[in-house]
Structure 1
Amino acid sequence: MVDSDHSITNAFLLIMTLVGLSIILSVIKHHSKTASRWLEGLPVLVLRNGAWDKEAGDNTRVDPSEVVAAARSKQGLERLDEVKHAAIENDGTISIVPREGS
């Protein structure tokens, strides 16, 4: 981004540009749900009612063993059949909804 110019002025301008863009995008996301969905994305369900969604898993590059690991660490569940829903959140974490009685 700075090519061969390593001056303090150029570094300062680069940092201010990146900070400014971050603030502008933050304001846009705050005022527009459409822009927020476009910039941040939406959570993706990879397990629906206990059924693995292979296409969603392939698109997010998540496999059932990762969901089981998240279920074990977050909910204390040991098997995939104890999970009702699993979603990959915008920040990359896996949210788990256990089955009733698990």
Structure 2
Amino acid sequence: MFELQVAWWELLARACLIYFALFLMVRLSGKRTVGQFTPFDLLVVMLLSEAVSNGLSGGEESVTGAWILAAALILMNGLLGFLSSRSKRLERLLEGSPVLIGRDGKWFLDVMQRHRLGEADVQKALREADCSLGELKLAILESDGTISVLKR
């Protein structure tokens, strides 16, 4: 139960490789994926976890192996958070930056398409801000996928 079938360093290497590969895939998938989960997005996340589980463990089924993998993933996440809090450049690279998607009552449709935002997404943001299109001063797609609306 506590004896490893795979070398401990191999588990750490697997955790690092898979963590960074998944991080890159999620980061490249765009802001909407991160901030606004639909049922389909949730399904993809659940299937991703199942798809990479064997790659993480490499046949390792001990409790010790699970602890090593969990600790490695949590530590990598903490390390990236620590490093990005110390470097604006790294923070922008890892988390992205806000994007202007509307101004003065007009949407920038090309920008919205590039970030895979639909009409329903921006209408919802207007409703949440209790703002009409005529009152819209700025609409910003934040790096976490939420939409901030400023009224005139």
Normalised TM-score (structure 2):
0.59
RMSD: 1.4
Greater fraction of residues in helix: 2
Partner in structure 1 of residue 125 of structure 2: 70
1:42 aligned to which of 68, 92, 97: 97
How many residue pairs get aligned? The number is: 97
| Displaced runs of 4 or more, over 3 A | none
Q: For 1:68-95, what per-residue CA distance to the aligned partner results, in whole angstroms no more than 9, with x for missing partners?
A: 221112x212x32321211111111110
Matches of 1:72 and 1:2 in 2, distance apart?
46
Note the residue ranges of structure 2 that are not aligned, 5 or more in a row: 1-55
Q: Percent identity?
A: 34
Normalised TM-score (structure 1):
0.84
The one of the two structures with greater contact order (alpha-carbon pairs below 8 A, sep at least 6) is 2
Query: Displacement, 1:64?
Result: 3.3
Q: Pairwise mapping of residues 82-97 of structure 1 onto structure 2 (< 5 A)?
A: 82-97=135-150
Matches of 1:69 and 1:39 in 2, distance apart?
27
Matches of 2:126 and 2:115 in 1, distance apart?
17
Note the residue ranges of structure 1 that are not aligned, 5 or more in a row: none
Greater fraction of residues in strand: 1
Query: Displacement, 1:51?
Result: 2.7
